[in-house]
Structure 1
Amino acid sequence: MSSWQPDPTFYPSARLAADAPKETLAYVATFDPTRQMPDELAVVDVNPGSPDYGTILNRIPMPNKGDELHHFGWNACSSHLCPNAPHPHSERRYLVVPGLRSSRIHILDTKPDPRRPSIVRVLEPDEVAKKSGYTRPHTIHCGPQGIYVVSLANAQGEAPGGIFLMDHDTFDIRGRWEIDRGPQELAYDAWWHLGYDTLVSSEWGLPATFENGLVPEVLLGGKYGHRLHFWDLNTRKHKQTIDFGEENQLVFELRPAHDPTKAHGFVNSVISLKDLSASIWTWYRDGDKWAARKVIEIPAEPADPALLPPFLKGFGAVPPLVTDIALSLDDRFLYVACWGTGEMRRYDVSDPHRPELVGSVRVGGIASRASHPAAGGAPLNGGPQMVEVSRDGSRVYFTNSLYGAIDDQFYPDGINGWMVKLDAGASSGLAFDPEFYLEWPKTHRPHQIRLEGGDASSDSYCYP
């Protein structure tokens, strides 16, 4: 009998993952918006029984300045238990942390001390561009074939963006993932339906249209991303495009069902040019094709123009700006972060075509500046942005910064960073944990969160 055992944090199904031990640590990518200091990976204590609960235990600085750390992930996860995965004995050990602005990729080892990860390799921008053909790495997902890196631009910083693969053990770049990209040009996120051999990708824009902030002419001209792309996961060929229409700008975060027998998922469109609303769409199988329909629309909220940034004064309203969503492992609850209005919403999506709003809290917001129970009534800025859900679905964590240059367009007084935890009831409701309000060090802003041992948006599963 082999002595090799799969990593104990790999789970055949989402149901088994939900029964796993509770997380005690969160890893948070943080950046210096002035680019005067190195960005950092922060380690946060999320164990309620710890004397350090709700505090930063360690801050690991990157070797350079100006990376703008973004959506990072694990080198390996539960998808490595799939029948077609050639490496079931990998470890969930390393964090793969990309710099969206620098195109640098950092590898951090969380062993032997998970509270103090160490940088073991840095892939420099020249190596990334030369070996992958891409720059601006945005999203990291571990999959059955290795580490997938969604990048927003080619080696020259232009279209097309796309996906490249890295080895999950050596972190060497294997090369471009796509064999035939069809009409796909823009990139943002990618995830898959392992039970349907399908990869889905979404769209943002090219570096020239976001690195110094959103460009009003591009936004109002409907020129940011507004399409989903469907690919054959094994042949790596483009199969289908669904266009949400130019009015639905910035089609971002993909959250496919965790149960591999279910052929649906959710994606957010950040803003509608028609009325500044935000929307959630579900994609699903319709015969032998994929289809999508809008299932949630969140309206803009009227506001005194005196409270609005120059970007919005002419509209007299605050758009919700839904910039992130998260789907619980049981596929029952969708969490929707409204970065503009400062609201975190919880929907029951048991029927993915008829979501029901079952919880809401407010903190921050462009006009409302809602406080937190632990903030002493002080007005807070930023709003719910990157959201992460525990494996058992009872804890929701989020931070308040989107992207340095865009933060300043909507919150021109500068964002003071914070991280918040909510408690989610079994069937409805959302409530602040009054013991967990983490005011971020003023030099940095917090962005993506990953939970120890995996979370609701880190893993994919091959078994129902």
Structure 2
Amino acid sequence: MSLRPDPTFHASPALAMQAPPEEYAYTVMLSPDASQPDALAVIDVKPGSPTYSQVVHTVPMTHRGDELHHFGWNACSSALSPLTGHAFLERRFLIIPGMRSSRIYIVDTKPHPTQAAIHRVIEPDEIFRKTGYSRPHTVHCGPEGIYVSTLGGGGHDGTDGAPGIFIMDCETFDVLGRWEIDRGPQDKHYDFWWNLPRDYMVSSEWALPPQFENGLVPEDLLSNRYGHRLHFWDLRARRNVQTIDLGAQHQMALEVRPAHDPVREYGFVGVVVDTTNLEGSIWTWWREDGQFHVEKTATIPAEPAAADLLPPLLQAFGAVPPLVTDIDLSLDDRFLYVSCWGTGEMRQYDVTDPRKPKLTGSVHLGGIARRTPHPNGKAFAAGPQMVEISRDGRRVYWSNSLYSSWDNQFYPDGVPGAQVMAHADPDGGLTLADDFWVEFPAGYRAHQIRLEGGDCSTDSFCYPSVGPR
């Protein structure tokens, strides 16, 4: 424990944007056939460095078959909350769940990112015994502990009871127990995030384990059996206060991105596919007079394609759905980035008016039918997937793997790991950096990215930014 607050903790989003640029990125790598342990890659992202855009260190896990997916820090700017006593933690440890194994790795990034090493392994039995949950997924550092969402309940197939969120101690990393006191109608899970001073949480839905672990189940999708609701929670009381159904055809409500400035009571969620027309969509939620409201604010159409360019799963449709699989919001709450994993496009929207997004930038890379190469001439397998934005909003990084069994269905030719970066113009617009291309070790795919010192999907802030709103 430090005697002063970690200098990477920032009271407001505006202060975080003024922090020094990142020099390292952390990306989880998975071995889709479990022939080798999954691993954490440390990547040099400092321009001018002799190892720029290269993997400079790897941390292999202790077991095979974990399926590393999402991960996060033990502590972040939320530790500056005036209501808790954890301001003197360090942003030091990465909490890395294995989604298939339900095992969690704690990786120490000190004394230097290139010396990162496993600090502790939390075995699945501890999570099952203390929470009744399985398939840990999203990690967020809260003021009083580490929050981890899950995709499965108990039992072998994860359907014995609903999935939910559990809490870990942010110093010992012990699993403490379930977060929910009253879950209301929530029976599926995916992402979650919050507005700390306003004391609410929002969570989304993907699917139950039998609907995703062995791949997309077409009959369940066409029958609208995947998740399509948002749940709003009283954060302190730990209870569901409102659930909104987006409509059964809006299948798979995934990433939720609240506005970073806590005075702004709105946020965004991406929906993978509309089963009536294959389009993807962005929805905006907001709170007014104590009630939450949600509306569809942007749509992305499917693209027609010849059957011989499509995987068997899509040939009958004669089109490629955009497949909105990730979104991310810049710290100034101005630009929303949208990954279209199917069509191979990264979109940038100006969301200054959150209910009227304006498309301001787009780059194509990969894609089921387009197969657009990188500006350096190299083939980019699959499409833009997990996206992460630098604190200053000038660099946008993304990788290309969604989930091993889904990769195999939509991109049967293979998804060798790759990570790229685009420069974002402060007034709108995206340009791929032709000198940034990360190649990962053979046999690995690349998923979520975290940036040294924090990024745009890591921190939640306790104080408003100063300036015009």
- Name the TM-score, length of structure 2 as normaliser: 0.97
- Contact kept? 2:381, 2:415, Cα under 8 Å: yes
Tell me the distance in 2 between the aligned counterparts of 1:314 and 1:379: 26
Kindly provide the amino acid, as one letter, of the partner of residue 270 in structure 1: V
Q: What is the aligned partner in structure 2 of residue 344 from structure 1?
A: 346
Any conservation in 2 of the 1:197–1:234 contact (CA below 8 Å)? yes
Distance in 2 separating the partners of 1:227 and 1:74: 27
Question: What residue number does 2:218 align with?
Answer: 216
Q: 1:298: which partner in 2?
A: 300
Which residue pairs with 1:430 in the alignment?
430
Shift of 1:131: 1.2
Partner of 2:170: 168
Q: State how 1:370-385 maps to structure 2 within 5 Å.
A: 370-374=372-376, 376=377, 378-385=378-385
Moved more, 192-201 or 93-102: 192-201
CA distance in 2, matches of 1:140, 1:286: 28
Structure 2 residue aligned with 1:420: 420
Does structure 2 retain, via aligned residues, the 8 Å contact 1:212–1:405?
Answer: yes
Please name the residue that 2:92 is paired with.
93
Tell me the residue number matched to 2:151: 152
Q: Which one is further off, 264-273 or 123-132? A: 123-132
Q: In structure 2, what residue type is equivalent to 1:152?
A: L
CA contact (8 A) 1:340 1:366 kept: yes
The match for 2:188 is: 186
Q: Tell me the alpha carbon deviations over residues 413-453 of structure 1, each in whole angstroms, 9 at most, x when there is no partner.
A: 11122100000001111001111011222310000000000
Question: Which amino acid is the alignment partner of residue 451 of structure 2?
Answer: L
C-alpha deviation, 1:286, in angstroms: 2.8
- Is 1:154–1:161's contact at 8 Å kept on the other side of the alignment? yes
CA deviations 1:94-118 (Å, max 9, x no partner) are 0000000000000000011222211
Specify the alignment match of 2:129 in structure 1.
130
Measured in 1, the distance between the counterparts of 2:228 and 2:6 equals 38
Q: CA deviation at 1:34?
A: 0.5
With 3-12 and 389-398 compared, the bigger mean Cα shift is at 3-12
Deviation at 1:288? 1.8
Q: How many residues are matched?
A: 460
The amino acid across from 1:122 in the alignment is V
CA distance in 2, matches of 1:264, 1:402: 27
Match of 1:288 in 2: 290
Amino acid of the structure 2 residue aligned with 1:104? R
Q: In the TM superposition, what is the alpha-carbon distance from 1:373 to its structure 2 partner?
A: 1.2
* 5+ long unaligned stretches in structure 2: 465-469
Letter of the aligned partner of 1:300 in structure 2? A
Deviation, 1:271, is 0.4
- CA shift digits 1:213-272 (9 cap, x unpaired): 011111111011000000100010110001001100000001000000000000000000
Q: Using the TM superposition, give the Cα deviation of residue 133 of structure 1 relative to its aligned residue in structure 2, in angstroms.
A: 1.6
1:36 to partner: Cα distance = 1.0
Deviation at 1:287, TM superposition (A): 2.2
Q: Distance in 2 between matches of 1:320 and 1:442?
A: 28
Q: Could you tell me how far apart the structure 2 residues matched to 1:45 and 1:379 are?
A: 22
Contact 1:75 1:147 in 2 (8 A): yes
Q: Structure 1 residue 69 and structure 2 residue 68: aligned? A: yes
Residue 344 of structure 1 aligns with an amino acid whose one-letter code is M
What is the letter of the counterpart of residue 64 of structure 2?
K
Give the stretch that moved more between structures: 3-12 or 102-111: 3-12
AA at the equivalent of 2:51: D
CA deviation profile, 1:285-316 (whole Å, cap 9, x unmatched)? 13220000000100000001110000000000
**Paired residue type of 2:167:** L
- Cα distance between partner residues in 2 of 1:45 and 1:449: 13
Alignment of 1:243-392 (within 5 A): 243-374=245-376, 376=377, 378-392=378-392
Partner Cα distance (1:263, 1:116) in 2: 40
Question: What secondary structure, in the 3-state scheme, does the structure 2 residue paired with 1:195 have?
Answer: coil
| Contact in 2 for aligned 1:43/1:116 (Cα 8 Å) | no
Contact 1:141–1:191 under 8 Å retained in 2: yes
Q: Which residue of 2 aligns with 1:44?
A: 43
- Superposed CA offset, 1:57-107 (max 9, x none): 011100000000011000000000011122110110000000000000000
CA distance in 2, matches of 1:440, 1:363: 18
The residue that corresponds to 2:467 in the other structure is none
CA distance in 2, matches of 1:155, 1:303: 42
Whether the aligned pair in 2 keeps the contact of 1:79 and 1:85 (CA below 8 Å) is no
Overall identity of the aligned pairs, in %: 59
Task: Report the CA distance between 1:142 and its aligned residue.
Answer: 0.4
Match of 2:33 in 1: 34
* Stretches of structure 1 lacking an aligned partner (at least 5 in a row): none
**TM-align CA RMSD:** 0.9
Matched-pair contact (CA < 8 Å) for 1:384–1:400:
yes
4+ residue runs over 6 A deviation: none
- CA apart distance, 1:206: 1.0
User: Displacement, 1:352?
Assistant: 0.1
Query: What does residue 3 of structure 2 align with?
Result: 4
CA contact (8 A) 1:25 1:115 kept: no
Q: What secondary structure is seen at the aligned counterpart in 2 of 1:315?
A: coil
Q: Where do 1:114-129 residues align within 5 Å?
A: 114-129=113-128
Distance 1:168 1:63 in 2: 22
Structure 2 residue identity aligned to 1:399: S
Report the counterpart of residue 398 of structure 1 in structure 2: 398
CA distance in 1, matches of 2:171, 2:381: 40
Q: CA deviation at 1:145?
A: 2.0
SS for the counterpart of 1:64 is: coil
In 2, the alpha carbon distance for the partners of 1:137 and 1:200 equals 17
Output the amino acid matched with 1:448.
Q
Partner of 2:339: helix, strand, or coil? strand
Q: Is the 8 A contact 1:188 1:252 kept in 2?
A: yes
Partner residue, 1:105? 104
Q: TM-score normalised to the size of structure 1?
A: 0.98
Q: How many Å separate the matches in 1 of 2:22 and 2:342?
A: 29
What is the DSSP-based 3-state SS (H/G/I as helix, E as strand, rest coil) of the residue aligned with 1:266? strand
Counterparts of 1:167 and 1:380 in 2: how far apart (Å)? Answer: 40
- Residues 416 and 443 of structure 2 are in contact (CA less than 8 Å); yes or no, is this contact kept in structure 1? no
1:344-396 CA distances to partner (integer Å, 9 max, x unpaired)? 0000000001111010001000001000111x2x4432100000000000000
**Cα distance in structure 2, aligned partners of 1:86 and 1:182:** 30
Give SS of 1:128's match: helix
Give the superposition deviation at 1:11: 0.2
What is the alpha-carbon distance in structure 1 between the residues aligned to residue 97 and residue 323 of structure 2?
A: 24
Return the offset for 1:196.
1.5
